[in-house]
Amino acid sequence: MAHAIHQEPRWRRLPEERPRQILNAALAVFGEHGLAASRLDDIAKRAGLSKGTIYLYFANKEELFRAVVQHTVISQIEVGEQLAASPTASATETLTEFMRKYWAFMRSGEFAPIFRLVHAEILDFPDLARFYADEVVARGHRLITSIIARGIETGEFRDIDPAVAARMLNAEFIMHGLWCTHPEYFQAVAKKSDEQILNELMHFYLYALRPGAPDTTRPPGMHS
């Protein structure tokens, strides 16, 4: 008599994938319910795991949120830091490649739920707010600032406060990235594809940084 073959669930056969499964499930649940209302039981169910399995990897929901941010946002910053450390690429080439990768992340399914969580709930979790401010906001700002500062030193970019220029880049990309998540609204105005929007953003920003351009944009009465 033939014996039935018992096939274990995939997560049992591939235990090394459990952390990624948990993080993906957590991002989905956080995005649907918000950070405060999300339960580890819901995350475990979404991941196809037991709640006890989650505790093998993450002590609590807050630690899990930190890991989600590390897996999604901070990992992208690390890629940018590696780009900026290249000894051969010019600052213009580095900034252009960074903007392409930044836009790809803005338009990924990971960015919007993280952004909503941070702006809707993060202040209710002071430790997480400090973590996000230090590891995402400040670190990302330093990265862009360093690329622009190098371009100023090499003469590729005009003499401008690199920290201000970095803040302007963030504002442009984040707002356009958010708008493009609602194509029914944005297409009514822009009528452009994601690639066209990206090209416009890069052209506009790099043109603003071009060397030798007189500063004719300062409002009357505003001093440097």
Q: What is the 3-state secondary structure (H, E, C) of 3-20?
A: CCCCCCCHHHHCHHHHHH
Band the pLDDT of 224: cuts 50, 70, 90.
very low
Confidence of residue 217 (pLDDT cuts 50, 70, 90): low
Domain spanning 69-209 has what CATH number? 1.10.357.10
- Residue 40 structure tokens: 């580890």
Contact indicator for 100, 165 with CB cutoff of 8 Å: no
Q: Is the pLDDT of residue 116 over 90?
A: no
**Beta-carbon count within 10 A of 203 CB:** 10
Q: Is the pLDDT of residue 10 over 60?
A: no
Tell me the C-alpha distance between 22 and 45, whole Å.
10
pLDDT at 209: 96
Q: What is the pLDDT of residues 61-83, one digit of tens each?
A: 999 999 999 999 999 999 999 99
111-129 burial, b if ≥16 CB within 10 A, otherwise e? bbbbbebbeebbeebeebe
Please count the other Cβ atoms lying within 10 Å of the Cβ belonging to residue 146. Answer: 18
CB burial string 80-108: b at 16+ within 10 A, e below: beebbeeeeeebbebbebbbeebbebbbe
* Assigned CATH for 12-58: 1.10.10.60
Which residues neighbour 50 within 8 Å (Cβ) at sequence distance 6 or greater? 44
* pLDDT band, very low/low/confident/very high, at 179 (cuts 50, 70, 90): confident
- Return the number of other C-beta atoms located less than 10 Å from residue 201's C-beta: 18
Domain boundaries, the chain: 12-58, 69-209
Question: What is the pLDDT of the chain when averaged over all its residues?
Answer: 87
Measured between alpha carbons, how far is 43 from 180 in angstroms, rounded to an integer?
28
**pLDDT tens-place string over residues 15-32:** 678 899 999 999 999 999
pLDDT digits (tens, 9 = 90+) for 143-167: 999 999 999 999 999 999 999 999 9
pLDDT of residue 15: 60
Structure tokens, 23: 């993080």
Q: Check whether 121 has a pLDDT greater than 70.
A: yes
Q: What is the pTM of this model?
A: 0.84
Percentage of the chain lying above the pLDDT 70 cut: 85
